[in-house]
Amino acid sequence: MYDKNNVFAKILRGEIPNKTVYSDDNVLAFYDVAPRARVHVLVIPRGEYTDIFDFTKNAPADVQLAFWNGVRNTVEKLGLRDNFRTVANTGRGAGQSVMHFHIHIMSDERFSEDF
Ligand code: AMP
């Protein structure tokens, strides 16, 4: 069940500050407070969805489309067209610590050496 007191809900309500990268009616993108890459940004829908399962099952199609458009707009704004990763940790077991659906966008020069 969605907890309205999670940290991203507080960011969306303006109760906690954030460094916004991109914002529109459906999406907010902001810098991760504890970056684990040269560029580390989180993209979240404004609606109340706990994780990728909840979002893809319960968000209306137009909201899902708007979210992915927001992800792309964020990537374009960051200038990362061909050098970024997306991660969606899902569930405590996988390290999800904030139960509001979010996509990590991470970019680091070293990525090209990892694979
Ligand atoms: P996850 O572990 O996938 O749930 O990711 C949650 C992310 O939120 C972590 O990378 C945290 O560093 C980040 N985070 C937690 N609180 C804040 C905050 N107030 N502003 C920005 N990022 C945050």
Domain parsing of the chain, residue ranges:
7-107
The answer to whether the CB of 19 falls within 8 A of the CB of 34 is no
Q: C-alpha dihedral over 10, 76, 103, 56, to 10 degrees?
A: 100
Who's near 65: CB < 8 A, 6+ residues apart? none
Quickly count: other Cβ atoms within 10 Å of residue 49's Cβ: 23
Give the residue-averaged pLDDT of 77-104. Answer: 96
Cα–Cα nearest to 44, from 77, 4, 12: 12
Query: Which token pair is 10?
Result: 């507080």
Task: Give CATH superfamily name and number for 7-107.
Answer: HIT-like (3.30.428.10)
Q: Is the pLDDT of residue 64 over 90?
A: yes
Total-model pTM: 0.95
**Atom 17 (ligand 1) nearest CA:** 33
- Residue 39 β-bridge partners: 107
Q: Which atom of ligand 1 is nearest to the CA of 87?
A: 3
Could you tell me the distance, in angstroms and rounded to a whole number, from the CA of residue 102 to the centre of ligand 1? 9
Residues with CB under 6 A from ligand 1: 7, 16, 18, 32-34, 42, 89, 95-98
Which of the four pLDDT bands, split at 50, 70 and 90, describes residue 70? very high
Could you tell me the distance, in angstroms and rounded to a whole number, from the CA of residue 27 to the centre of ligand 1? 16
